[in-house]
Chains A and B, each alone.
Chain A
Amino acid sequence: MKITLQGVYRYIESEAGSIRVLENINMTVEQGEFIAIMGPSGSGKSTLLYQIGCLDSPSFGHIFLDEVDISTEPESIREQIRLHHIGFIFQNYNLLPTLTVIENVMLPMQLANTFGKERRARAAALLRLVNLENKAEEKVMALSGGQQQRVAIARAMANNPGTILADEPTGNLDGKSGKEIMEVIHSIHENQKITLIMVTHDPKIASYADKIYYLDDGKLRSTVF
Chain B
Amino acid sequence: MLIAFQLAVKNVYRKRERSLLTIIGVLLAVGSFISLLSLAEGLYARFAKEISGRKVDVYVLPPDAAALPTGPVGTIGFTSDVLSLELVKKLEGKEQFPDISSVCPIYRFPQKIGNQTILVWGLGEDKFPLFFPRFNLKPGSRMYSADAPEVVVGGNFAMARGINIDTPIVIEGQPFTTVGIGKPGESFADHFCYISLENAIKLKNAKGAQEIWIQLEKSVPATRKQVADAIKTAYPHLNVKTREEYLGSANEYVSYAWLMQFAIAAIGVLIALTAAMNTMLMSTYERVKEFGTLRSIGTSRFTVFFMIQVESLMLCFIGGIGGVVLGIMGSQLLNDAVMAVLQLSFPLAKITPSLIAYAFLLSGFVGIVAAIIPAIIVYKMNIIDALRWE
Which segment, of B69-77, B295-303, B333-341, faces chain A? B295-303
Contact A79 B300, beta carbon cutoff 8 Å = yes
Q: Which residues of A contact B290 (CB under 8 A)?
A: 94, 96-97
Task: Say whether, besides A90-B387, A98-B7, A111 and B297 are in contact (CB < 8 Å).
Answer: yes
Contact A55 B384, beta carbon cutoff 8 Å = yes
Q: Which residues of B contact A111 (CB under 8 A)?
A: 3, 297-299, 303
Q: Which residues of A contact B3 (CB under 8 A)?
A: 107, 110-111
Is B289 in the interface zone, CB < 8 Å from A? Answer: yes
Identity of the chain B residue whose Cβ is nearest the Cβ of A82 in the assembled complex: B298
Q: Which residues of A contact B301 (CB under 8 A)?
A: 75, 79
Contact B14 A98, beta carbon cutoff 8 Å = yes
Q: Which residues of A contact B292 (CB under 8 A)?
A: 94
Is A142 in the interface zone, CB < 8 Å from B? Answer: no
A140 to B3, CA, bound (A): 18
Contact A56 B297, beta carbon cutoff 8 Å = no
B315 to chain A minimum Cβ distance, whole angstroms, is 16
Is A125 in the interface zone, CB < 8 Å from B? Answer: no
Q: How large is the interface on A (under 10, 10 to 19, 20 to 34, 35 or more residues)?
A: 20 to 34
Is A83 in the interface zone, CB < 8 Å from B? Answer: yes
Which of A47, A50, A88 interacts with B297 by CB under 8 Å? A88
Which of A47, A56, A79, A97 interacts with B298 by CB under 8 Å? A79
Is B145 in the interface zone, CB < 8 Å from A? Answer: no
Identity of the chain A residue whose Cβ is nearest the Cβ of B298 in the assembled complex: A83
Is B116 in the interface zone, CB < 8 Å from A? Answer: no
Contact B10 A56, beta carbon cutoff 8 Å = no
0/1 interface trace, chain A 186-203, chain B, CB 8 Å (1 if under) = 000000000000000000
Is B372 in the interface zone, CB < 8 Å from A? Answer: no
Q: Which residues of B contact A80 (CB under 8 A)?
A: 298
Contact A55 B383, beta carbon cutoff 8 Å = yes
Main SS at interface, chain B: helix
Identity of the chain B residue whose Cβ is nearest the Cβ of A53 in the assembled complex: B296
A55 to B294, CA, bound (A): 12
B:238-262 near A, CB below 8 Å: none
Q: Which residues of A contact B14 (CB under 8 A)?
A: 97-98
Task: Say whether, besides A96-B290, A98-B11, A99-B10, A56 and B299 are in contact (CB < 8 Å).
Answer: no
Q: Which residues of A contact B383 (CB under 8 A)?
A: 50, 55-56
Which of B7, B293, B303, B384 interacts with A56 by CB under 8 Å? B384
Identity of the chain B residue whose Cβ is nearest the Cβ of A99 in the assembled complex: B10
Contact B289 A94, beta carbon cutoff 8 Å = yes
A192 to B383, CA, bound (A): 29
Contact B298 A94, beta carbon cutoff 8 Å = no
Q: Which residues of B contact A121 (CB under 8 A)?
A: none
B81 to chain A minimum Cβ distance, whole angstroms, is 72
Which of B7, B10, B299, B387 interacts with A79 by CB under 8 Å? B299
A50 to B386, CA, bound (A): 13
A108 to B3, CA, bound (A): 10
B346 to chain A minimum Cβ distance, whole angstroms, is 53
Identity of the chain B residue whose Cβ is nearest the Cβ of A112 in the assembled complex: B298
A173 to chain B minimum Cβ distance, whole angstroms, is 19
0/1 interface trace, chain A 52-91, chain B, CB 8 Å (1 if under) = 0101100000000000000000011001101110011010
0/1 interface trace, chain B 97-126, chain A, CB 8 Å (1 if under) = 000000000000000000000000000000
B10, B11, B296 pick with most chain A CB within 10 angstroms: B296
A49 to chain B minimum Cβ distance, whole angstroms, is 10
B3 to chain A minimum Cβ distance, whole angstroms, is 5
A98 to B15, CA, bound (A): 11
Q: Which residues of B contact A97 (CB under 8 A)?
A: 14, 290
A149 to chain B minimum Cβ distance, whole angstroms, is 14
0/1 interface trace, chain A 89-115, chain B, CB 8 Å (1 if under) = 010001111110000000110111000
B327 to chain A minimum Cβ distance, whole angstroms, is 33
Identity of the chain B residue whose Cβ is nearest the Cβ of A167 in the assembled complex: B387
A47 to B11, CA, bound (A): 31
Q: Which residues of A contact B295 (CB under 8 A)?
A: 55, 79
Identity of the chain B residue whose Cβ is nearest the Cβ of A78 in the assembled complex: B298
Is A150 in the interface zone, CB < 8 Å from B? Answer: no
Identity of the chain A residue whose Cβ is nearest the Cβ of B12 in the assembled complex: A98
By a beta-carbon cutoff of 8 Å, the part of chain B in contact with chain A is 2-3, 7, 10-11, 13-14, 289-290, 292-301, 303, 383-384, 387
Known contacts A97-B14, A155-B297; 20 further A-B pairs (Cβ under 8 A): A53-B296, A55-B383, A55-B384, A79-B298, A80-B298, A82-B296, A87-B297, A88-B296, A88-B297, A90-B296, A90-B387, A94-B289, A94-B290, A94-B387, A96-B290, A96-B293, A98-B14, A99-B10, A107-B3, A108-B297
By a beta-carbon cutoff of 8 Å, the part of chain A in contact with chain B is 47, 50, 53, 55-56, 75-76, 79-80, 82-84, 87-88, 90, 94-99, 107-108, 110-112, 155, 159
Nearest first, the 10 A-B pairs at minimum CB distance are A83-B298, A98-B10, A94-B293, A82-B298, A55-B383, A110-B3, A79-B300, A108-B297, A88-B296, A98-B14
For this complex, 30 residue pairs linking A to B, each with C-beta atoms less than 8 Å apart, are: A47-B384, A50-B383, A50-B384, A53-B296, A55-B295, A55-B383, A56-B383, A56-B384, A75-B301, A76-B300, A79-B301, A82-B296, A83-B297, A83-B299, A90-B387, A94-B289, A94-B290, A94-B292, A94-B293, A94-B296, A96-B7, A96-B290, A96-B293, A97-B14, A98-B7, A98-B11, A99-B10, A110-B3, A111-B299, A159-B298
